Every structure is written in C-alpha cells, then in structure tokens.
Amino acid sequence: MSNGLLSETQIKYQYQSIPSTIDEEDDQTEENGIGDTDDEALDDTNENNTSITRNLPLWDITCILSLAFSYGCIMTTLFLITLPVECQRIENQHPSIPKSVALGIFVAISGASNLVTPLLGMLSDTYRPPKHFELGQRMPYFVLGSICSTIGLLGQYVESYEKLWVRYGFFYFATMIGLNVSYAMMLALIPDQVCDGWKAWLVLQEEKAQV
C-alpha cells in the first residue's frame, strides 16, 4: 500500500484545470510556430503515465477481497441465524416485545451504523501517515474496525448468556460499526493501488469524452 495518496475528490479537483492549461499552452505554441495539438498532448500524457503504471498481483487482489468473504459470512450468519434466535429469546423473556419488533430494532441499529462509514472514509482519505509508517493510510482504520467488531462480538456472546438485551444491542451496534468500517477500507484499498499519474490521465479522458 502506498503512502500519501490523494483521494478521488482531491485528484479530480487537482487535475480538473489541466484541459484549460493544455489549451493555453497550445495557443502559445501555435503563436510560437509549434504545431502540437490537444490530442498529441494527451497522447504524450498517456505514454508517460503508462510507463509508471503497474499490475496488481493476483495474490494482493485475493488478500484485499478476502475481507468481503468474511464480511458476507458474518452478516449472513447474524441476520439468518443469530438474530432470529436471539429475538425469539427476547420474546420468551418479554412477551410484550414481539419477535418481529425486536428484529426490526436490530435492523434499525444496523442501518444507523452505516452512517459512521462515510465519516471514517473521509478521515481515511485525508489521513497522512508518518513517513516511517509503511503500512499505508488505511491500516489504522482497519485496526480500529477489527478491534471494534471483535469487542462487539465478544460482548454479544456475554450479554446473550446473561440475557441483558439493552447491553446486547450496544455491543451489536459496535459490531456493525467495526464490520462496516473494515469493509469500507477494503473498497478504498482497490483504487489506492492505482498511481496518481494514471488517475489524472483517466480524469482527463473522462472530461474529454464529455466535451
């Protein structure tokens, strides 16, 4: 993982003025008798950026996407097995709370946990690790998400045994936050593997196609 990478928004903001700059340089070169065109300038940019691109090894891609498999397994187990069983236990202990209502509360908690993900994604985009920190800008948030989800799952186990359902809900919320943060960091890692020069060229090509 590379350090100090720009976010997608910063990349587009930084390079959105390049086409106008190229046009100004082309006008100046035409006045000076130089016949470079916009297409030639973009071709040169393509050649320069192609030389600095790299293919991501299959093993690295597999390691990054392996989190999606574990995320899917945990979420499927929670919503198809664990939560229905726990909601039935809640209904048995508190007949005034139907199983469907309890399950709806857990689904609402899961949805609320997703509101934290954009905030932490923005923080990870702007985070710049120290120069001696070679694990990249996403790793601190990976660790945070892993710790949060681990504590949440252990807490769910303990509070389920004790039948303390309010505390169980808090630990379930922590589990969802940890899982969603880790999954968001996994998605952010994929574009991070593309070098900044190639991202800039892609932005130029997109803007050229829209003209």
pLDDT digits (tens, 9 = 90+) for 18-63: 444 444 544 554 455 444 444 554 455 444 444 444 566 778 778 7
Q: Among the listed ranges 44-53, 74-83, 168-177, which one has the minimum average pLDDT value?
A: 44-53
The CA distance from 126 to 137, in Å, is 9
The answer to whether 173 touches 109, Cβ cutoff 8 Å, is: yes
- For residue 194, the model assigns a pLDDT of 65
Q: What is the mean pLDDT of residues 178-187?
A: 88
Q: Give me 31's structure tokens.
A: 């006045």
The answer to whether 155 touches 167, Cβ cutoff 8 Å, is: yes
What are the Cα distances from residue 143, in Å, to 27, 167, 180?
Answer: 52, 23, 13
Residue pLDDT, tens place only, 115-163: 888 888 888 888 777 777 666 778 888 888 989 999 999 999 999 999 9
Round the average pLDDT of the chain to a whole number and report it: 75
The answer to whether 128 touches 137, Cβ cutoff 8 Å, is: yes
Q: What is the mean pLDDT of residues 190-196?
A: 68
Question: By three-state DSSP, how is residue 58 classified?
Answer: helix
Q: What share of the chain is helix, strand, coil (3-state, %, to 5)?
A: 80, 0, 20
pTM value is 0.65
The values of phi and psi at residue 81, to 5°, are: -125, -60
